[in-house]
Amino acid sequence: MRKRIVIGSRMWARALSACFAVGFALVGLRAAAQDGPKCYAAVGAEVRGLGKSAQLNQEKCHGLAQKVGVRGGLCNDVEGLPFTIISGGKYVADQNKALSKLHDPAKGKCPQPAASAATDMLPGDSLANKLPSIAGLATERAGKLLGNAAIGGDLAKRKCFKVISSARRAIADRMMNEALKCQKTKPVGSPLDPTCLDDTPLASFLSGRQTAIQAACTGLTGAQVGSCDPLPTCVIEAALAEGKSLATLAYPGENCTKATPSPNARTATINVQTPTALGGITVLVRYPRFDAGIDENGSNIDVSGRFTYSVAFLDAFDLDDAVRISAVDTNGISSGTLASVKFDVCRPLIPEGRCSVTTSQACTDAADCRAPACPSCAPQNTCTGDGTTLCTSDSQCVDNGTCGEKCIAQGRSCSVSQFLNCATDADCPATETCLSQRALTKCEVESASDPYGNPVSGVSCTVSLTEP
């Protein structure tokens, strides 16, 4: 279940008690130093367990749907009511068990009174704040690998689907396990080391899964069973990406570290639309973590330095691929701007001016290809462009003077894993989509209530980006 922030008078109490919590945290620093390594390892193990639980329960749900002749798409959303009912609430129970293993006062790996200080050692802070990201990843992957096909009683399709779904779970879990073993050799409290995402050690295992899919799905396409194409390669790549994303969720690093960031160079403005005045609201703003970010993790975020707002109370928590923003105002929060936050930038949004190609132009050399389309000479000796690249001149096209290159869609990242820069979907792992930074930056409402603490439905939010 999502972590909910209680609003109204309780929220005010929380805001006031936060001041006293600082003093108590100082008392527990020595214990935190001892609990930190144990807590750090336990968070990784529980993230792995929850990823596996989500995948397994999605499989079981799909299997039941097939038996009764219902499309399995309703099983993909692990936070949806159909999934929760069909799975018997197993995933929610596993979430609560994971939280208890970490924070139980008597047996937890991140015990009180040192829990807050211990988890602050972890990039991304406590497990409770990772739950929406874990659920979102499982839901997105299932949508692409398990799909919504009407398989029914077709035994051949059911066999193929079962092998694909089990391969997805096994590969993602094995990749996650390899990453965790690798990270154990790194300093406690450090973000996931990039070398821990190397999938080379899994070569033999992946080959076996690939062979199994080929054998089980002979004569079938991925689309026929609700999965991806081409089989089996797309399943292998997508499952690896899921495992790597889970590992990154467990031990995320400071954002935007692959290049030299420009501090406070991007402003994200969050707007809310509400049918009635609110007393409090919590929103989650997702962003491409390798392109932009905030220089602190978890609750260490500098609210006063990065946020502009007019509500009475605002708190923020950075998850490294999203920032959770909670606002309270007993005078009421109306539709309009809730807050704006400044991000550091590693890759700009790209100047305005869109490449557009409407016809093909014969060429023998890249020099024949010129603006306004700003493509270069493709291998087929035809000037091409993807029709989506934002640029103002050919100079923004990488290696424009080399025949065979094309204008790279700068400022784009692959969806979900976001490990790669890309120009088109073909540059991403199978089932990934090449998206602009604007498309990857989005907002969702987690909770909203009126000034008396009563839930309010029909509230939405949007985010807009500007750069100097």
Decide: helix, strand or coil at residue 246: helix
Other beta carbons less than 10 A from residue 85's beta carbon: 11
In percent, the amount of the chain with pLDDT more than 70 equals 70
Dihedral sign computed on CA atoms, order 173, 175, 178, 180 = negative
Average pLDDT over residues 243-258: 75
Tell which wins on pLDDT, 31 or 126.
126
Average pLDDT estimate for 308-316: 94
pLDDT band at residue 301 under the 50/70/90 scheme: confident
Number of helices (H), then strands (E), belonging to the chain: the values are: 11, 13
Highest-confidence segment of 17-26, 36-45, 219-228, 257-266:
219-228
In the predicted model, is pLDDT for residue 158 greater than 90?
yes
Q: What number of CA atoms fall less than 13 Å from residue 248's CA on the CB side?
A: 25
CA–CA dist 213, 101 (Å, integer): 36
Q: What is this structure's pTM?
A: 0.66
Place of tokens 């590969």: 171
The per-residue pLDDT for 243 is: 92
User: Bigger pLDDT: 468 or 67?
Assistant: 67
Reported as a pLDDT band with limits 50, 70 and 90, residue 405 is: very low
Residue 43: pLDDT band (50, 70, 90) is confident
Position 255 scores a pLDDT of 60
HSE-CB of 88 using CA atoms within 13 angstroms: 6
Tell me: cis bond preceding 113? Omega within 30 of 0 counts: yes
pLDDT at 34: 52
Confidence of residue 87 (pLDDT cuts 50, 70, 90): confident
Confidence (pLDDT) at 420? 61
What does the mean pLDDT of the chain come to?
76
Task: Identify which of 328-337, 400-409, 420-429 has the greatest average pLDDT.
Answer: 328-337
CB 170 within 8 A of CB 233: no
Residue 402 has pLDDT above 50, yes or no: no
